[in-house]
Amino acid sequence: MRLLRPLRRYPVIALAILVLVVVLALLASGLPEAARWTATVCVGAFVVWTAIRMLRQLLRGHFGLDVLALVAMVATLAVGEYLASLIIVLMLSGGEALEDFAARRARRELTALLDRSPQTAHLISDGGPDAERIRDVPVDEVRIGDLLLVRPSELVPVDGVLLADGSFDESSVTGESLPVARTAGEEVRSGVLNGTHAVRLRATRRSADSQYQQIVALVRVAGESRAPVVRLADRFALPFTAVALALGGLAWLLSGEAVRFAEVLVLATPCPLLIAAPVAFIGGLSRAAKAGIIMKGGAVIEQLARVRSAAFDKTGTLTRGRPELVQVRAAEGFDESELLQLAASAEQYSSHVLADGIREAAAARGLALLAAEEADEVATNGVTARIGARTVVVGKLATVAALAPETRPVRLEPGQAAVYVAADERFAGALVLADAPRPESAAVIAWLRRERVSRIAMLTGDARTTAESVAAAVGIDEVHADLLPAEKVALAAQLRPRPALMVGDGVNDAPVLAASDIGIAMGAKGATAAGEAADVVILVDSLARVPDAVAISRHTLRVALTAIWIGIALSLGLMLIAMTGAIPAIAGALGQELVDLATILYALRALRGTGGGLPDPTAAPRAAQRR
């Protein structure tokens, strides 16, 4: 039954094989006339069907390559090569099957994302005193704030906040192959696979707004567009047809044998033009998806492969987008570890953005947070905490100086901020924080310059001093600062040479991403307006995926164009040989199928495209989490 399944899927192939077997049986039985008429009726029906399809295409304004197949079948029948005409029928129908197989193979990563979309969620509701009730609901009915249960080896249905620690397989979304540990209070994205223990989470987004559904929507868009190189292949149809007919006519004229015309046209294979480019581009989209890069169609691949200018937003793109501790300046009588521990212990009761950076720095150094007997936070000024026998104050210069008069301001570089600390009314020191450049940013800029991206600029709304400091650290020499969103759009439009790409992450980047030749959104922190406006969405919190996207695109375009020209060269070469009479019509029909197969297999090389070769800076933190 498994062997018959492909024949049921492709009935024309099954019919062609059946007729070919019948014709061969009639020939073996000494009934050549019956064999000829059987083949003629079958091929005639296929010719009529092909002619109808060709006319429909012409009415839509498309000149296809079906005319070559039509003329080849009629010509082979006219010169008595009915076996060759049957093989052409089998070849054309088989070509569609080959295209279908190649497309399914190339779409594997894309369709895997679509097929795994969560459908249901386990909703936890109140079942009475000291009881809970769990019921399954469609994922579309989950509301923000709902309490959900995710069982082992199940997909997380919507974005939510974990209520307990867990481990997740994020490979289908980010490409990370090993499990990633997440702690209570941390957000987990929809579409990732839960580990070996059931976890609970509080929904923070509806299904339609969650990351996985946004990815699914992007994938659907990616599969529908046609790349310019594919449309270019369509334009090759008319000249290729004219050349094939001219070569066939010349062979007939020089030899005086009509069979030469048929032998040449049998080898005029349209497959490299019809199939190679689409298969290669689908393969490139699939390869990118596997790396955590969603591209919205083949046209994006071609633009990205030819990029010559680039612009970057600063905050959250070239930088991490959050303050990090860069220096500990302890006052006399305090050491750095003591100062950081006291500050982090007080800041654990603060919701200020700088407090996160201080706590993370203490955790990275293995410093335990000390419990406070009482704590009080004054918005925008600081926090006061009673830790053991000490009263610790962490906050602005004026707040700390009011309690410790010897407090002095520290010198800061552009883009830095200071948090001051006092203990028992003594100045303990200052912590210097900054939104530091990503560790991979400088390598990304250097890679783009090596790869013939001749102009690289920073477009940011931040102050010029801060922007220039970050630009110098990552290797960008053209800085445009203090920009409004409309000014970013105008500057991006002026970038030369083109095509130009723009990389950003925030809602304020959406207009410039939409207006650029290629907009790339850093979408690891969730689906935003930037992701909706961009042509490429990077699902991993790593700028190194930008070179990966460019490298995959260039490999894909190179494979597509090479497949087209290899197929055309083989077809023309075989047609020239057939003009001498060295290739019989039957052998030519079989040879054409081999050319088709070779072209498709070469186009599938797009699936093996490599990235930019830069190390993934997120790998080390994830490895540490797993330990």
Residues with a known catalytic role: 313
* Number of H-type helices and E-type strands within the chain: 25, 22
> Rounded to 5 degrees, what are φ and ψ at 409?
-65, 145
Residue found under tokens 């809602």: 507
Instruction: Supply angle C-alpha 308, 505, 296, rounded to 5.
Output: 60
Q: Which of 479, 486, 520, 483 is nearest to 503 (CA)?
A: 520
> Rounded to 5 degrees, what are φ and ψ at 164?
-155, 165
Measured in whole angstroms, how far is the alpha carbon of residue 376 from the centre of its chain?
Answer: 46
Residue found under tokens 């410790």: 404
215-226: b (≥16 Cβ within 10 Å) or e: bbbbbeebbebe
- The answer to whether 270 and 68 are in contact (CB under 8 A) is yes
CA distances from 45 to 18, 70, 335 (A): 15, 11, 91
Q: Which of 106, 113, 199 is nearest to 539 (CA)?
A: 113
Residue found under tokens 């399944």: 5
Q: Which of 38, 81, 46, 44 is nearest to 66 (CA)?
A: 46
The tokens for 222 are 């990616």
The tokens for 371 are 């419990």
The SS3 call for residue 405 is coil
Residues 6+ apart with CB under 8 A from 567: 269, 271, 272, 273, 276, 595, 596, 598, 599
The SS3 call for residue 384 is strand
Residues 6+ apart with CB under 8 A from 161: 185, 186, 187, 188, 201, 202, 204
Pairwise CA distance, residues 134 & 158, whole Å: 17
The tokens for 322 are 């959050």
Q: Which of 415, 412, 376 is nearest to 394 (CA)?
A: 376
Q: Which of 359, 434, 357, 427 is nearest to 397 (CA)?
A: 427
Pairwise CA distance, residues 588 & 584, whole Å: 6
Pairwise CA distance, residues 304 & 551, whole Å: 9
CA distances from 117 to 154, 156, 187, 191, 211 (A): 11, 10, 19, 7, 11
Instruction: Supply angle C-alpha 31, 37, 40, rounded to 5.
Output: 140
